[in-house]
Amino acid sequence: MASKKQIFLPLGVLAGTIGVFVALSAMKSPPPQKAQQDIAPLVEVTPVELTDVTLKVHSYGEVMAQEQTELVAQVSGQVVSVSEQFVKGGFVAKGDELLRIDPNDYEAALIEAQAGLAQAQSALEIEQAQAHVAKAEWQRIKDNANEVIPSELYLRKPQLAEKLANFRAAQAQVKRAKRNLERTSIRAPFDALVTAKNISLGSVVSPGSKLGQVDATDIAKVRLPVANHDMQYLVDGGVGAKVSLQSDIAGKAVTWQGTIVRNEGVVDKRSRMTYLVAYVNTPYQHSVPLRFGAYTNATITGKQLRNAAIIPSHLIKENRVALLNNDNTLEFSALNVIREQDGMAYVDTGLTTGEQLITSALEYPTEGMALRLNDEPTQKPHTQLALKED
């Protein structure tokens, strides 16, 4: 049988060990506080700005003259003079003589026609006098004529009609001779640029011979194709809208201002485009001339949007955009997108000035999710205890 010493000695050692452990545990310092890491997605934002926006429609076209006239000979003969300005690229004013066809034969024809007119006029006057005498003679003897009706021949009415017809024919001959003489002088029908010259001094021409071509310089015309879906952004189909035309001249971009004057009213069968016609006044009198034949890019002024926002198109998903609330949570806003162009969307409803538009890409955005901005600290001030392993 075990003695008391054998029983109480191990119990005393165990109690001492427990006491030491409890004392050491009481002396151990508490575990350090560890800051909680905020795992809310980091985003970037930009403030929304509302402003008045004017929609633009882009197009292109070739500059042409509003009026182009081909000069054609109306009489035959030899070209006896040519103006120094009648060269390709030369500028001429309205009424300037460009060339002259030998007028001698036509001057002689006019003199001959005038002589014929004088003869016909003299014959008409003589016949009128004779008819007057015949009528007076009949008035004198009619009381004794027992109501006999005088013949037309007796009163010389047929003879008078013949002389009158000859007189009018002679007048027509003079008029024709004058017109042919005038046609020997080829004159500019308007202020123009000579774009073609087909004859030279000494050339012999006949009616229908092509002499050259002149393009009017008072107005330049540009036909601008516009896609059907872009027509909705123009007021009154674009008629009356201002248009800016731009071309590169000697390596520099130059702009001219014009006006859309008409819609051609049909859709082109091949391109399925609607053509608008723009006019630019006095194209060659600008500091940098707008030359015929040049290709230009056009910007047509369209409708105006009041209090609209312009935002990147890629931020819009299913006509909604993500906004950052004041409490740093995400909110979706439904938009009315008027137009998307060049990567930007024009929005007229759904946004307010000062709202924070989220521009960062979020993998799984949800309504009300917590977010944080780039300029916020990565740690929150609140703490949480973490147990330390022994």
DSSP-derived 3-state class of residue 9: helix
| Record: fold of 70-101+184-216 | OB fold (Dihydrolipoamide Acetyltransferase, E2P) (2.40.50)
- 33 burial class (0-12, 13-18, 19+ CB within 10 angstroms)? exposed
Residue percentage of the chain with pLDDT more than 70: 81
Q: What integer is the mean pLDDT of 254-275? A: 92
pLDDT confidence of residue 11:
61
Q: Supply the DSSP symbol for 155.
A: T
Task: Say yes or no to pLDDT of 37 above 70.
Answer: no
Q: Which residue has the tokens 């990565």?
A: 378
For the chain, which residues make up each domain, given as ranges? Answer: 57-65+218-303, 70-101+184-216, 103-182, 316-385
pLDDT confidence of residue 150:
60
List, in order, residues 6 or more apart from 75 with CB less than 8 Å away: 101, 106, 180, 183, 184, 207
Concatenate the DSSP letters of all residues of 99-148 into one string.
Answer: EEE--HHHHHHHHHHHHHHHHHHHHHHHHHHHHHHHHHHHHHHGGGTTTP
Task: Say yes or no to pLDDT of 1 above 90.
Answer: no
Which helix H or strand E contains 12, and what residues bound it? helix 4-27
CATH number assigned to the domain with residue range 316-385, chosen from the 4 options 2.60.40, 2.40.420, 3.40.1700, 2.40.390? 2.40.420
Q: Supply the DSSP symbol for 229.
A: G
Distance CA 387, CA 180 (A): 118
Asked if residues 283 and 63 have their Cβ atoms less than 8 Å apart, the reply is yes
Task: Say yes or no to pLDDT of 51 above 50.
Answer: yes
Nearest to 352 by CA among 335, 339, 365, 370: 335
Distance CA 10, CA 2 (A): 12
Which helix H or strand E contains 211, and what residues bound it? strand 210-216
Tell me which of 376 and 30 has the higher pLDDT. Answer: 30
pLDDT confidence of residue 380:
40
Distance CA 335, CA 316 (A): 9
Range from 40-54, 63-77, 174-188 carrying the lowest mean pLDDT? 40-54
CATH number assigned to the domain with residue range 57-65+218-303, chosen from the 4 options 1.10.357.10, 3.40.980.10, 3.20.20.70, 2.40.30.170? 2.40.30.170
Tell me which of 17 and 94 has the higher pLDDT. Answer: 94
Q: What integer is the mean pLDDT of 83-102? A: 94
Q: What integer is the mean pLDDT of 88-96? A: 94
pLDDT confidence of residue 33:
58
Q: Which two tokens stand for residue 41?
A: 């997605």
Range from 337-341, 366-370, 382-386 carrying the lowest mean pLDDT? 382-386
List, in order, residues 6 or more apart from 312 with CB less than 8 Å away: 343, 344, 345, 359
Distance CA 358, CA 331 (A): 10
Band of the pLDDT at 21, cuts 50, 70, 90? Answer: low
Report how far apart, in Å, the C-alpha atoms of 312 and of each of 43, 118, 267, 302, 331 are.
16, 87, 32, 21, 18
Distance CA 89, CA 193 (A): 6
Nearest to 278 by CA among 238, 246, 248: 238
Task: Say yes or no to pLDDT of 28 above 60.
Answer: no
Distance CA 358, CA 322 (A): 6
pLDDT tens, position by position, 320-357: 999 999 888 999 999 999 998 889 999 988 888 988 99
Summary mean pLDDT of the chain: 85
pLDDT confidence of residue 374:
67
Nearest to 39 by CA among 384, 371, 385: 371
Backbone dihedral angles phi then psi of residue 141, each to the nearest 5 degrees: -105, 0
pLDDT confidence of residue 377:
46
Band of the pLDDT at 39, cuts 50, 70, 90? Answer: confident
Amino acid at 363: E
Q: Supply the DSSP symbol for 225.
A: E
pLDDT confidence of residue 383:
32
Q: What integer is the mean pLDDT of 168-196? A: 94
Range from 105-119, 265-279, 363-377 carrying the lowest mean pLDDT? 363-377
Q: Which two tokens stand for residue 352?
A: 């307010």
Range from 54-68, 130-144, 217-231 carrying the lowest mean pLDDT? 130-144
The rounded radius of gyration (Å) of the Cα atoms in the chain is 50
- CA–chain centroid gap for 48, Å, is 31
Q: What integer is the mean pLDDT of 175-185? A: 95
pLDDT confidence of residue 369:
87
The whole-model pTM stands at 0.71
Asked if residues 71 and 215 have their Cβ atoms less than 8 Å apart, the reply is no
Task: Say yes or no to pLDDT of 178 above 80.
Answer: yes
Backbone dihedral angles phi then psi of residue 166, each to the nearest 5 degrees: -65, -35
Q: What integer is the mean pLDDT of 132-142? A: 70
